[in-house]
Structure 1
Amino acid sequence: MSSSLRQGIILPWRSQLYFSAVITKHLLTTDEIRYLQQRTLTKQKNLHTLSFYICPG
């Protein structure tokens, strides 16, 4: 059993709650960023395809 894990168990429930909230928020944020990046990438692809049809080559 690692010392950090033992510390995590000893931590009071309030800070555990805060910790899990921070992790959840972080996960949500990274998911949102990934989603936005994906949308931007799709838009760029669409624009690229469109410009290719307008003036190929």
Structure 2
Amino acid sequence: MNAKNSYGGYTGDQPYSGMLVGEGPKTFFAVVGIAGSETEKIAILTVCHDKGLL
């Protein structure tokens, strides 16, 4: 995900976490957080790798 910072500039691609909400055809993906530090980035990428998502 590439988001804008408080200065209006893009931060560059960052990993994000989320969850599926709802059931059946009303299911959607909700972003829970975007990595804001190197530690968060490593944590998100490690979980994704362990779950076979990368």
The TM-score normalised by the length of structure 2 is 0.35
Q: Report the structure number with the largest CA radius of gyration.
A: 1
- Which of the two has greater strand per residue? 2
- Which of the two has greater helix per residue? 1
The TM-score normalised by the length of structure 1 is 0.33
